[in-house]
Structure 1
Amino acid sequence: MKQIKFVFWSISSSLVVWLSSHLGLAVMALPPINDTPEEILRTEIIIDARSPIDGKLLTPVEYAQLQEKLQVSPPPKLSQNLRQTVFLLRLRKVLLQVFPFLDL
């Protein structure tokens, strides 16, 4: 009985697959015809750019200037006292990892 059910289901599923492939249904896995292939898109030169700060459209020259400005890091604005406190906290952390028995 199990063998008959198996044969019935395998024949039924084969028929459904065969009928659906021969009914002229479009394959959904293919991209649309008017879609530009990725190989062509890779060779295109992008002349429009957007600012990473506010998303405004920029010319290539403006974009290059903005990238240069972003590469330069601003000077630190922390006070000397705060920088020394952070340094001491980091030093304390290292010392406690090396000497866990210290009571700091």
Structure 2
Amino acid sequence: MKNSIVFSICLGLMGWVAQPTLALPPPDDLPEEVLRTEIITEARSPIDGELLTAAEYAQLQAELAQRKTPPQLAPEIRHNVFLLQLLNLLRTVTPF
């Protein structure tokens, strides 16, 4: 009898102290299933990151596909990239 009274009091205090939690997301949060079905009408340019409409993006992709040679980097930039790759290789091989 005494144990049941103590248990009831503890249970009552736990219910009073503990705040209820909600397992549902906020109402303004869109589910991932809805986001996956959205049609994207804006895009970013792969060249400079500028916002483009869908038509401008398609036109830019067509122009880039027509180019025969890919754009070349300046020789000094290519040399710097090579040196960074070499430094990265040396760091993986040497312990210091």
TM range (shorter): 0.3 to 0.5
User: TM-score, length-normalised on structure 1?
Assistant: 0.42
